Chain A
Amino acid sequence: MADLVLKDVEKSYGSVKVLSNINLDIKRGELIVFVGPSGCGKSTLLRMIAGLERITGGTLTIDGQVVNDVPPAQRGIAMVFQSYALYPHMTVRDNMAFALKIAKKSKEEIDAAVGKAARILQLDPYLDRLPKALSGGQRQRVAIGRSIVRDPKVYLFDEPLSNLDAALRVATRIEIAQLKEAMPDSTMIYVTHDQVEAMTLATRIVVLAGGGIAQVGSPLELYERPQNEFVAQFIGSPSMNLLPGEIVGTGTTTTVRMKAGGTAVSNYPSQPGDEGMQVNVGVRPEDFLETEGEPIFEGKVDITEALGEVTILYYERVDGAAPVIAKLPGIHKDLRGKVVKLAADPSKVHVFHKEQSLLYRHEPHQKIAAQPH
Chain B
Amino acid sequence: MNPIIAGLVTIVVGVGGCVGYFYLSNLLLDKVIFPARGENISRNINRANAVRPWLFMFPAIFALGLYLVYPVIGSFWRSLYNRAGNEFIGFGNYQALFTSGDFQVAFFNNLLWVLVVPAASTFLGLVIAQLTDRLSWGNIAKSLIFMPMAISFVGASLIWKFVYANDPDIGLINAIRDFFGLGVIDPMLVPFWNNFFLMVILIWIQTGFAMVILSAALRGIPEETVEAAIIDGANPFQIFFRIKVPQIMGTIVVVWTTITILVLKVFDIVYTMTGGEFDTEILPSFMMDYMFRDDGIATAVAFVIMIVVLPVMIWNIVQARRELR
Contacts and interface: CB of A to CB of B under 8 A. Distances in A.
Contact of A81 (B224, B233, B242, B249): B224
Contacts of A85: 222, 224-225, 227-228
Interface centre among B231, B238, B249 (most CB of A within 10 A): B231
A82 B228 CA distance: 11
Interface in A50-103: 50-52, 71-74, 77-79, 81-90, 98-99, 102-103
B141 interface: no
A146 interface: yes
Interface residues of B, number: 17
A91 to B, nearest CB: 12
Contacts of A84: 224
Given A83-B224, A85-B222, A86-B225, A102 B231 contact: no
Contacts of A77: 231
Classify the interface of chain A: helix, strand, loop or mixed: loop
A88 B224 contact: no
Contacts of A50: 231
A71 B231 CA distance: 8
Interface residues of A, number: 26
Contacts of B173: none
Classify the interface of chain B: helix, strand, loop or mixed: helix
A102 B238 contact: yes
A186 B174 CA distance: 68
Interface string B208-234: 000000000000001011011111111
A19 to B, nearest CB: 19
B96 to A, nearest CB: 48
Contacts of A79: 227-228, 231
A74 B229 CA distance: 13
A81 B224 CA distance: 7
A304 to B, nearest CB: 45
A89 B246 contact: yes
B247 interface: yes
A81 B230 CA distance: 13
Interface of A: 50-52, 71-74, 77-79, 81-90, 98-99, 102-103, 146, 150
Interface of B: 222, 224-225, 227-234, 238, 242-243, 246-247, 249
9 contacts: A51-B230, A73-B233, A73-B234, A74-B233, A81-B227, A87-B229, A98-B234, A98-B242, A99-B233
Given A79-B227, A146-B232, 19 more contacts: A72-B231, A73-B230, A78-B231, A81-B227, A82-B224, A85-B224, A85-B225, A85-B227, A85-B228, A86-B225, A87-B225, A87-B228, A87-B246, A89-B249, A98-B232, A99-B232, A102-B234, A103-B233, A150-B232
